[in-house]
Structure 1
């Protein structure tokens, strides 16, 4: 789940980047306009603050155009919004400002949620809306018309509606993004990660492994004679078998590890902080468990024509830094070792090319082995 959340953050950043750039441009133009208007009204302090905000927005826009800021878009949004909302509070508190200037408060939840996300956006919104409320009541406490029940109710309810709408929109958008991300990065049959998600997670773990000098390895696994299952019992049984294999693979790994279905009957394990020899032991433990566990259907072993269906698997292991650094190189090496396992009797896992590196057990399990 954490991998999906990290990917979701990356997916949201270009959207927030576009929103922030648009806001900066609008702030520059409107800030200069209100600077001129307030100079004409001789409200020099507010005019100076708005001019500073325009210049500040220009500086941020220039910095964003010269740096790779997408990775830290939330920080940049906060750097923009806090001064912007603070100048807004100054404008609200300004003696020369009319009550109509308080309509700008309605922008606070919209801008906060669109640029900062649901949690931080809600916190910033509540903080500045509360400040605006305090300013309003202090400024117009003697004005019975503005502080009457109807105006106060209208302003308060509309503010809460916009706040709730902004929060609900951002929550729904993030949930939709997460669902789409899961669909794009998972195998529809088994629910395992697909090749695209494997590549994404590997890139992250590779950088972490190189920084921390920690081991990382992969194991490539392929079901033995799986075509016979489809040919003999049909694709429905074959699909049940693949789902069963996926469950066995997930049960044999830690939460920090990743298992992906590369296609057909081929799977890949990404084992964090694991050396090659340790990866060999993990993969072989899974191989033995799969061999000894019948394919399950509705909570019971799958029996066809009096035969309990069981499966075996062959595999190859490759270690990051020893057998290569890129995922494609590790998969290529692991694939070579996998086919050496296939060519030397199947139902075994190899770390090296020599036969002594293969781990296997005798077939003593009941039922029909493939």
Structure 2
């Protein structure tokens, strides 16, 4: 399971809660034994022991949200069970204020909202049932204070979690998107490949990887400047996005190198996609307004199974074929052990085809 900032955040909070509950459980076990609340005392001790066990093992838990959900149900239920005892004073109802805070922190925005709704409603029912005949507790001032305080904590918890999740989504997007082209960056490649590989294996579908490199890109930068080079990269990224399916994933790996994952596409289909990108790019003239820049690309294709079972082997094979395409004349696609022959021979000239018209 991938470790995300969100899972780390929730794991730390869960560990703090477990320690707090284990300590409080032992304390209240001793207090309630002395007060004669034997049943409640043993329930609290059992919760304390369970909390200590979870605390020792929390770092190894995979389904953290599920474990949090399964833990909070008995935890909140014990709070309500204790508060329903006539021998417990109404001051213990302050524990109810933990419900929305802990629910949001451990379960996220909407799961936390649902959990808080359920147990806060039950807590209100228990409160009214316990004290409906006690005018000192059930009066306008007391009820107003309790309701306003509970509503404020609930609202702050909801707003905090909503803002935190929104900020995290923005940060994750910024961390995984190439700022220049808007494509995924190298950081997301392995993660998305592993996801697509699992689906391909389950559905018994092919999966191919394309590595693409622009030919003579350094000469574009040297002759026209890096600003123009950046415009070329943006245009190439746009060209790639227009010519792949919604299910495909495109990446800029750095410099002038791109990668495309093609789920459901075997070697032949991937070669066709790469060649469509190649020929379409060569026909864009001028690519950058006002400048006769016509870059070409070379590509290497690798397919899951035939060329490797994991990302490292698949990437290595595609890289070798990209290298072969470069050293076989450029402006071509290689999807097997040798360069495929066809009409992609424009790159065989010794001079750069990008700059022939202007140099």
| Pairwise same-fold verdict (TM > 0.5) | yes
Cα-to-partner distance string for 1:5-59 (whole Å, 9 max, x where unaligned): x97x833112212221221222122112111111222222322321222233234
Structure 2 partner of 1:347? 331
Offset of 1:361 from its aligned partner?
Answer: 7.8
- Does residue 10 in structure 1 map to residue 4 in structure 2? yes
Matched, 1:317 2:308: no
Quick one: distance in 1 between partners of 2:41 and 2:286?
Answer: 75
Question: Is the partner of 2:212 in helix, strand or coil?
Answer: strand
> Is 1:302 aligned to 2:302, yes or no?
no
Does the CA contact (< 8 Å) of 1:46 and 1:94 recur in 2?
no
Q: Which residue of 2 aligns with 1:117?
A: 108
Cα deviation for residue 275 of structure 1 reads: 0.9
What's 1:177 paired with? 168
* Root-mean-square deviation over aligned CA pairs: 2.3
* 8 Å contact kept, 2:300–2:335: yes
What is residue 57 of structure 1 aligned with on the other side? 51
1:24 is the counterpart of 2:18: yes
1:220, 1:338 within 8 Å by CA — same for their partners in 2?
yes
| Residues 347, 37 of structure 1: alpha-carbon distance in 2 compared, 3 angstrom cutoff | same
Q: Residues 216-258 of structure 1, C-alpha deviation per residue, up to 9 Å, x if partnerless?
A: 1101111122222212211111111111111111122222221
Q: Is 1:283 aligned to 2:246, yes or no? A: no
Q: Secondary structure at the match of 1:163?
A: helix
TM-score by length of 1: 0.88
Distance 1:13 1:42 in 2: 41
Which residue of structure 2 aligns with residue 3 of structure 1?
Answer: none
The within-5 A match list for 1:60-99 is 60-62=54-56, 64=58, 68-69=60-61, 71-99=62-90
Alpha-carbon distance between aligned partners in 1 of 2:193 and 2:257, rounded to the nearest angstrom = 18
Q: Distance in 2 between matches of 1:183 and 1:355?
A: 38
Cα shift at 1:171: 1.8
Q: Distance in 2 between matches of 1:341 and 1:282?
A: 16
Match for residue 40 of structure 2 among 46, 49, 63: 46
Post-superposition offset of 1:362: 6.8
Is the contact between residue 33 and residue 41 of structure 2 (CA under 8 Å) also seen in structure 1?
A: yes
Counterparts in 2 of 1:329-348, with a 5 A limit?
329-348=313-332
- Residue 369 of structure 1, CA deviation: 4.4
In the aligned structure 2, how far is the partner of 1:161 from the partner of 1:369? 64
Q: In structure 2, the residue corresponding to 1:303 is in which secondary structure?
A: coil
Query: Separation in 2 of the partners of 1:358 and 1:95?
Result: 88
What SS is found at the alignment partner of 1:95?
coil
Count of residue correspondences: 350
Q: In the alignment, which of 227, 233, 239 is matched to residue 224 of structure 2?
A: 233
**Matching residue within 137, 157, 182 for 1:146:** 137
Q: Which runs of 5+ in 1 are unaligned?
A: 1-5
Q: 5+ unaligned residues in a row in structure 2: which ranges?
A: 348-352
Q: How far apart are residue 358 of structure 1 and its match?
A: 5.9
TM-score when normalising by structure 2 = 0.90
